[in-house]
Structure 1
Amino acid sequence: MSFVIFTDLDGTLLDHASYSYAPAKPALALLHKHDIPLILASSKTAFEIAPLRDELGFAHCPAIVENGAGLLPAHADPESLAGAQSDYQRIRTILDAMPADLRALFAGFGDWSVEEIAQNTGLPKDNAALAARRLFSEPGLFSGNAHQKQRFESYIEERGLKARQGGRYYTLSFGATKADQMRGILKQQSLAAPPVKSIALGDAANDIEMLETADFGVIISNPAGKPLPPLSGEDEGRIMRADNPGPTGWNEAILNHIGGPATA
């Protein structure tokens, strides 16, 4: 049986406060030992994820970036994706052509300086600079009322865009999700090494589709966030909840599913 692991980062593989993955090192070692692919799936940009993917030793695996709006191929340099007509540039073109009264209601990363992104997100300035290098989606803040939001969404949907409200940001993209990207990756993996079983781990609402799409899902508790509601698959045990938060719970879940301890 072949496994493919899909994991969220902040609050899941990475500690919510320190961003460390140290408690997950035994499970990461086990994945390397058995050549099990680890697919990072996050709201982070390709420029944020690529260095971490290299550090973890999984540069040979694709990564799901910007909440599923895009994919960073295996071994790819994010610079190679920054073409003249990226999805992000298309999004900004649609925004810039919007009637002024609607446009004034949305402020996205492209409207903010790196200093403002750092202030709004709480990221250090260097990390905020990487978060600003978007290729597939535009997160931001919408300041209008319900009627104005309906007009805004009608306008962008006529032009192929989708809007999704996350825990903090209102994000515009062309509609792909973490689960969509997961299905595509699994199709390729199954062609190479059938049968393949998928395991997904996440802690937040934007992970629900991924957790429910996987063969096995693990909800990592996040004391800093709102607990996820009961998910489809929990009653029959296909989706489980980790006892511990962050990388500690992640480590235990992987060792329990894959089998046997490993040393970092």
Structure 2
Amino acid sequence: MSENGSVINNLNLLNSNFPNKIILSREKEELVEIFKNDVPENLQSKCKFISNLNKKDQINIFGLSETKLKNALDRKYTEPFLFEGNKNEKKDLTKILKKNSLTIQEGGRVINLCDNVNKVKSMNRVLKIYTKIESNTKVIAVGDNYNDLDMLKNSDLPCLVFNDQFKEDQINIDNLIISNKPSPEGWADVIKMALVKLDYNV
């Protein structure tokens, strides 16, 4: 059996052995509901959720074709938006979200409303369960933001999606794989590079 087939079988085995979901984040509908209930209207008015915009504006914001737009918007745990306020207003928004166990992540063209999840702990939680059925495990971690760096440092194959906010000499992660392309193509780019390092056929 191929290594890819082995991975699929192990994932199926994981699901059968642990039928309950491993919940690492609340879903975006719950996050948006908290946002609407707890963020003052003056700050809400500065936020434009991408899902509420027309398709033409969505395409312009993401810089994607219409066929790729659906994938960019098909999110379960984050809600992208534009912020049109000043620095002080953004600080106020961040503080209010933090009080409600939410956070914002800046990366690429938009800001994302997210659950306040520790990525390293989440990764290790899944890994602890998975290693019960497969001891020979390598972790590929992919990120495109400063809040991903701890996760990348704690993975076997750290992958960074190209972002002009980063300076490589400031990251200081051993064996870092950096994409040749920016998001969204960069995500597939670094995963392919990592799989090549693992001698997978890609």
Moved more, 123-132 or 155-164: 123-132
CA displacement, residues 210-240 of structure 1 (integer Å, 9 cap, x when unaligned): 32111343557x4978554454552xxxx34
* Distance change (3 Å), C-alpha of 1:32 and 1:171: same
Shift of 1:248: 7.3
Measured in 2, the distance between the counterparts of 1:252 and 1:128 equals 25
Matched letter for residue 68 of structure 2:
N
1:43-54 matches, within 5 Å, as none
The residue number in structure 1 matching 2:68 is: 127
Tell me which residue corresponds to 1:100. Answer: 41
SS of equivalent residue, structure 1 residue 192: coil
> How many pairs were matched up?
186
CA distance in 2, matches of 1:225, 1:146: 18
Query: Normalising to structure 1: TM-score of the pair?
Result: 0.54
Unpaired segments ≥5 residues, structure 1: 1-29, 38-57, 63-72, 75-80
- CA drift of 1:204 comes to 3.1
Q: Secondary structure at the match of 2:109?
A: coil
Work out whether 1:138 is the aligned partner of 2:110: no
Structure 2 residue aligned with 1:190: 131
Aligned equivalent of 1:116: 57
1:205 and 2:177 aligned: no
Q: 1:59 to 1:90 in 2, by over 3 A?
A: farther
Alpha-carbon contact 2:141-2:155 (below 8 Å) kept? no
Structure 2: how far apart are the matches of 1:255 and 1:131? 26
Residues 233 and 126 of structure 1: CA distance in aligned 2, closer, same or farther (over 3 Å)? closer
Q: Is the 8 A contact 1:200 1:216 kept in 2?
A: yes
What is the TM-score normalised by the length of structure 2? Answer: 0.68
Q: Structure 2 unaligned runs (5+)? A: 16-20
- Cα deviation for residue 148 of structure 1 reads 0.9
CA distance in 2, matches of 1:248, 1:99: 40
Q: Match for 1:137: what amino acid?
A: T
Choose the corresponding residue for 2:100, options 159, 181, 189.
159
CA distance in 1 between partners of 2:84 and 2:54 (Å): 19
Q: Secondary structure at the match of 1:198?
A: coil
Normalized per residue, the structure richer in helix is 2
CA drift of 1:109 comes to 2.0
What's the secondary structure of 1:150's corresponding residue?
helix
Which range is displaced more, 175-184 or 115-124? 175-184
129-138 vs 243-252, greater mean Cα deviation: 243-252
- Which residue number corresponds to residue 18 of structure 2? none
> Could you say if the C-alpha distance between residues 211 and 139 of structure 1 is closer, same or farther in structure 2, counting changes exceeding 3 Å?
same
CA shift in 2, pair 1:202/1:108, >3 Å: same
Q: Whole-Å Cα distance in 1 between the matches of residues 192 and 145 of structure 2?
A: 21
Provide the residue aligned with 1:173 in structure 2. Answer: 114
Equivalent position SS for 1:217: strand
Q: 1:218 to 1:174 in 2, by over 3 A?
A: closer
Q: Is the 8 A contact 1:178 1:210 kept in 2?
A: yes
**Cα distance in 2 for residues equivalent to 1:99 and 1:159:** 13
One-letter amino acid matched to 2:91: Q
SS of 2:81 mapped into structure 1? strand
**1 or 2 for the larger relative contact order (CA 8 Å, sep ≥6)?**
1
Hey, what's the Cα distance between the residues in 2 that align with 1:61 and 1:142? 39
- Identity, in percent, stands at 16
